[in-house]
A and B are shown apart, each in its own frame.
Chain A
Amino acid sequence: MRIFDPHIHMSSRTTDDYAAMHAAGVRALVEPAFWLGQPRTNVGSFTDYFDALVGWEPFRASQFGIAHHCTIALNPKEANDPRCVPVLELLPRYLEKDGVVAVGEIGYDSMTEQEDKAFAAQLALAIAHDLPALVHTPHRDKAAGTERSIAVVRESGIAPERVVLDHLNELTVAMAKESGCWLGFSIYPDTKMDEDRMVAILREYGTERVLVNSAADWGRSDPLKTRRTGDAMLAAGFTEDDVDLVLWRNPVEFYGRSGRLSLEGLSPEAEFAGNSILRGARK
């Protein structure tokens, strides 16, 4: 089973996770820029984070035979802090990087006026930089927030097939599918969505335009949930081709729209025998 995790925050994960992901079949992933748990208080904190997403983290991933790409944005939560908002002016520089395959995560957290502004401004940036957009739907008041997100996407003029609405559930999948956007599902140990509910949704709504991710981060989460979902699909009677469509070809098609996805040569980038991550572990 080859797996592309279209949403996972590897900066928060260990090298053991990378090794386990590779063993489970993960060969490519996208790491969206998001908040860090601890609120940021200045723009420099963002740029160091973005630099890691186009620098250190892809190197780390390459050591485990996994292709790393990222999305860049001011996240909805921190769009509410006036100390963070000026980072919007620095985004164009990052949105030109080879490893950046979408603008994201953008969208709503508490549906404030500041979030409205940042959301619309960043959809405009996606259009200007010819990039897809990754839209985070809010955890609280999700149905209303998803509806409003769809309206903002429509108003922006970006083509819906270049947008993924993420963290969907039973209550929001129908309106999202109707919108023409891609459908993102985050499979969590006990909250957003689990693999059996995911299988039921795939049965009802089909496998087209569906992205399944682990969204693993610094919270309680599991970077192998993509694999678990593939296993659950097979157990429920889906074919291996169905699994390959959902876990590989769909994310490749969606993020491939950036024109920047690089999946050739998935062996470690550095040819050297030893390196800084496997430091000292090998004899």
Chain B
Amino acid sequence: MNAWLEKALSDVAADATVLHTVFPAVGRRVGRAVDDAARVRLLAAAPGAAAEMPGLYRHGDAAEKRAVLHGLSVVDTGDAGIELVADALRTNDTRLVAAAMGEYAATHLDAPAYRHGVLKCVFMGIPLAEVAGLDRRTDEELLRMLRDFAAERTAAGREVPADLRTLLNEQDG
């Protein structure tokens, strides 16, 4: 393993506030291609990470925010992560929106918020495979919204995403 990451993991295990200093440096120290995974490992290794995550999100750059969103599905933050997910779903950054719709969102978002999260993913071209909980959280209202979206796209002469067509066909077939 990367020596820097190894040390960081043991440091955050001893003191979760060390996350403040190591979190921003992960990209250049461990590598941009694996920064999400490395940051989630740091969160998982830090007892007390849950208390630090809202601050790490608020003060994070886009990559740090994304890692905190992924971390919500690994670290138990109770309901404290809901407002972070809501913040990410207000952005127009597809990577943040996709990261927001993980297992935590599937478990914690109320029905209207979950439906709009899914619809936003479809609207932005984020593959439905990235959205957690569709099998158990898809309800009639969400299907109506998705059918309306597909109809709007069709009326405009634009393509309906293949994964959405598949989902609607399964439901209607």
Name A's B-contacting residues (CB within 8 A): 51, 54-56, 58-59, 93, 96-99, 259-260, 262, 264-265, 269-270, 272-277, 279-280, 283
**Please, what's the 1-or-0 string for B143-173, where 1 marks a CB less than 8 Å from any CB in chain A?**
0000000000000011101000000000000
B21 partner, pick from A96, A264, A265, A283, beta carbons under 8 A: A96
Could you tell me the distance in whole angstroms from the C-beta of A1 to the nearest C-beta in chain B? 26
Asked if B2 is at the interface (CB within 8 A of a chain A CB), the reply is: no
**Please, what's the 1-or-0 string for B123-156, where 1 marks a CB less than 8 Å from any CB in chain A?**
0111100000000000000000000000000000
Could you tell me the distance in whole angstroms from the C-beta of B70 to the nearest C-beta in chain A? 15
Q: Which B residue sits closest to A261, measured CB to CB?
A: B28
B62 partner, pick from A59, A96, A260, A262, beta carbons under 8 A: A59
B24 & A96 in contact (Cβ 8 Å cutoff): yes
B28 & A259 in contact (Cβ 8 Å cutoff): yes
Complex: A96 Cα to B27 Cα, angstroms: 11
Contact A269 to B95, CB < 8 A, known contacts A54-B62, A55-B65, A283-B159: yes
Asked if B108 is at the interface (CB within 8 A of a chain A CB), the reply is: no
**Please, what's the 1-or-0 string for B1-39, where 1 marks a CB less than 8 Å from any CB in chain A?**
000000000000000000001001111100011010000
B125 & A59 in contact (Cβ 8 Å cutoff): no
Of listed B28, B35, B127, B159, residue having the most chain A CB within 10 A:
B28
Comparing B72-80, B86-94, B109-117, the segment that makes contact with chain A is: B86-94
Complex: A93 Cα to B25 Cα, angstroms: 11
Contact A272 to B62, CB < 8 A, known contacts A259-B28, A262-B32: no
- Residues from chain A with a CB closer than 8 A to the CB of B95 are 59, 269-270
Interface secondary structure of B, over-half rule: helix
Complex: A93 Cα to B28 Cα, angstroms: 16
A58 & B124 in contact (Cβ 8 Å cutoff): no
Could you tell me the distance in whole angstroms from the C-beta of A94 to the nearest C-beta in chain B? 9
B124 partner, pick from A262, A269, A276, beta carbons under 8 A: A276
Could you tell me the distance in whole angstroms from the C-beta of B121 to the nearest C-beta in chain A? 9
Asked if B49 is at the interface (CB within 8 A of a chain A CB), the reply is: no
B25 & A98 in contact (Cβ 8 Å cutoff): yes
A275 & B125 in contact (Cβ 8 Å cutoff): yes
B91 & A56 in contact (Cβ 8 Å cutoff): yes
B24 partner, pick from A97, A264, A270, A276, beta carbons under 8 A: A97
B28 partner, pick from A98, A264, A276, A283, beta carbons under 8 A: A98
Q: 8 smallest A-B Cβ distances: which pairs?
A: A274-B125, A98-B27, A276-B92, A54-B61, A96-B24, A55-B62, A272-B125, A270-B94
Complex: A21 Cα to B26 Cα, angstroms: 30
10 interchain pairs, CB-CB under 8 A: A56-B92, A93-B24, A97-B24, A98-B24, A98-B25, A264-B32, A274-B124, A274-B125, A275-B94, A275-B124
- Residues from chain A with a CB closer than 8 A to the CB of B127 are 272
Complex: A271 Cα to B27 Cα, angstroms: 19
Q: Which B residue sits closest to A53, measured CB to CB?
A: B61
B159 & A56 in contact (Cβ 8 Å cutoff): no
Asked if B118 is at the interface (CB within 8 A of a chain A CB), the reply is: no
- Residues from chain B with a CB closer than 8 A to the CB of A265 are 32-33
Complex: A158 Cα to B65 Cα, angstroms: 33
Contact A283 to B157, CB < 8 A, known contacts A260-B28, A262-B32: yes
- Residues from chain A with a CB closer than 8 A to the CB of B24 are 93, 96-98
Could you tell me the distance in whole angstroms from the C-beta of B155 to the nearest C-beta in chain A? 13
- Residues from chain B with a CB closer than 8 A to the CB of A280 are 158
- Residues from chain B with a CB closer than 8 A to the CB of A97 are 24, 61
Complex: A51 Cα to B62 Cα, angstroms: 8
- Residues from chain B with a CB closer than 8 A to the CB of A54 are 61-62
Complex: A14 Cα to B136 Cα, angstroms: 41
Q: Which A residue sits closest to B25, measured CB to CB?
A: A96
Could you tell me the distance in whole angstroms from the C-beta of B74 to the nearest C-beta in chain A? 22
B91 & A93 in contact (Cβ 8 Å cutoff): no
Complex: A72 Cα to B94 Cα, angstroms: 25
Complex: A283 Cα to B94 Cα, angstroms: 19
Complex: A202 Cα to B18 Cα, angstroms: 48
